[in-house]
Amino acid sequence: MAEEKKTTRKKIQAADTMNKIMSDYFYELNDAATTGKRKVAWCTSVGPAELLQALGFAVHFPENHAAMLGATRMSTDLIPAANAIGYSPDICSYLTADIGAYLKGITPLAKAYPGIQSVPKPDVLVYNTNQCRDVQDWMAWYSKKLGVPAIGVTSPKNVNEVTDAHIDDVTRQIEALVPTLEGIAGVKLDMARLRETVNLSRECTELWKQVLETAKASPAPLTFFDGTIHMGPAVVLRGTQRAVDYYKVLLAELEQRIRDGVGAVDGETSRIYWEGMPVWGRLRQHSELFANLKSTVLASTYCSSWIFPSFDGNDPIRSMAKAYLELFIVRSDRYKEEYIKEMIGKFRIDGIIYHDAKTCPYNSNSRYGLPGRVEADTGVPSLVISGDLNDLRCISDEQTKTNVEAFIEQIAEGR
């Protein structure tokens, strides 16, 4: 046969430590919900998690759960249940998968963590529309279904430069959440604890940034596919010492790889940037596809979305507002173009792959000519692949494979 020997990316040893941390997190969350020892808040991924942590809530992240539904390839069977009650197949497949899972009484947590039977029942639902409007609609459905309040922040969109006016607006909105959250938590907000939480988030973010930037080395010691897994603690445990401790361990391992000249992919011949969401149900397949082509997908906008340099314990709420506003997804196309060009230089990128996710226009930056403009300015070739984060019905694996193989051929022949 014409197939050559398969190559896979190297396992990161710290994964075992991370799995333990994540396991502890999910069991604590389950314990809070089943015993009532702690109140449970659901929070969208870049919502005011620091505030919730400081008020003592156990925090569940529905987007994290939806990504698990995707990674376990359960989502495609669950999405139709949400479609059937009126949620279009064209809207966020995180939302439809998660609501579908609820309707069917299914969760991947039950299989991964014996003893857990369902997602933790919330006492409050908190969103920030900095991601998209869909998160607000998502929480609104649960609010009605479960009879718990949904409160949140409505962020400005297409922000070019984050100004004081933007920050003032979001600061006021976060402050306005406090009385309601205090009422549900049954405690007053302890500003010292909030400062400490924000400082821990800052520390977590700095370490996560250093982790991602190890990929500047040649060969790169980690890939985008590793990043999507290892960002778990940065997503669900930012603001905690555990996340900080974990990234110190991970960083040490990657720095050792650099010293030893060990790449995540053997014989790295091209360096690729991934723009857009991962295809959660195809992480392994995509990882192997690139590894077999001796190509490393080593940096991404997505994994870098958990870097928040503006967190500052000296001015916690305002710095939270600024950090949430500086998120890539909130920004203007002009900002995004400059950002991607900076990443091309920083990571010495040979080619960019834009994932046009059918149900996530907010994270698909290939629809308004941006790839062509970046390519014209940098000369770095790009490829747009059609797919989706969670709905595998939107994917043609064969077309993805042919496109990626042809793209890597093109890069190799262009040298």
Contact residues for another protein (CB under 8 A)?
A: 1-4, 381, 386, 394-396, 398-399, 402-403, 405-407, 409-410, 413-414
Between 116 and 277, CB nearer to another protein: 277
In whole angstroms, the minimum distance from the beta carbon of 70 to another protein comes to: 18
Between 264 and 392, CB nearer to another protein: 392
3-state secondary structure of 30: helix
CA distance 265 to 289: 11
Q: How far is CA 176 from CA 187, 203, 348, in A?
A: 16, 26, 44
Between 304 and 386, CB nearer to another protein: 386
Edge-first strand order for the sheet with 58-60 is: 58-60, 40-43, 124-128, 150-153
In whole angstroms, the minimum distance from the beta carbon of 219 to another protein comes to: 24
Q: Please choose, from the candidates 304, 138, 115, the residue with its C-alpha nearest in 3D space to the C-alpha of residue 205.
A: 304
H or E stretch including 80? helix 75-84
In whole angstroms, the minimum distance from the beta carbon of 352 to another protein comes to: 12
CA distance 154 to 168: 13
In whole angstroms, the minimum distance from the beta carbon of 367 to another protein comes to: 12
90-92-93-96 Cα dihedral, nearest 10 degrees: -90
In whole angstroms, the minimum distance from the beta carbon of 408 to another protein comes to: 9
In whole angstroms, the minimum distance from the beta carbon of 357 to another protein comes to: 13
CA distance 46 to 242: 19
- Tell me the one-letter amino acid at 106: I
- Tell me the one-letter amino acid at 253: E
In whole angstroms, the minimum distance from the beta carbon of 389 to another protein comes to: 16
In whole angstroms, the minimum distance from the beta carbon of 124 to another protein comes to: 40
Between 180 and 399, CB nearer to another protein: 399
Between 16 and 398, CB nearer to another protein: 398
Between 78 and 394, CB nearer to another protein: 394
Q: How far is CA 200 from CA 221, 253, 308, 384, 410, in A?
A: 26, 21, 12, 37, 44
In whole angstroms, the minimum distance from the beta carbon of 387 to another protein comes to: 9
Rounded (5°) CA angle 97-102-106: 85
Between 260 and 398, CB nearer to another protein: 398
- Tell me the one-letter amino acid at 307: I
Between 309 and 414, CB nearer to another protein: 414
Edge-first strand order for the sheet with 270-275 is: 295-300, 270-275, 351-357, 382-387
- Tell me the one-letter amino acid at 271: R
In whole angstroms, the minimum distance from the beta carbon of 406 to another protein comes to: 4
CA distance 98 to 81: 10
Between 243 and 384, CB nearer to another protein: 384
Beta bridge partners of 137: none
CA distance 128 to 365: 20
Between 305 and 382, CB nearer to another protein: 382
In whole angstroms, the minimum distance from the beta carbon of 349 to another protein comes to: 16
Between 163 and 410, CB nearer to another protein: 410
Residue with token string 């506003």: 325
- Tell me the one-letter amino acid at 378: T
The answer to whether the beta carbons of residues 194 and 320 sit under 8 Å apart is: no
CB atoms within 10 A of CB 264: 27
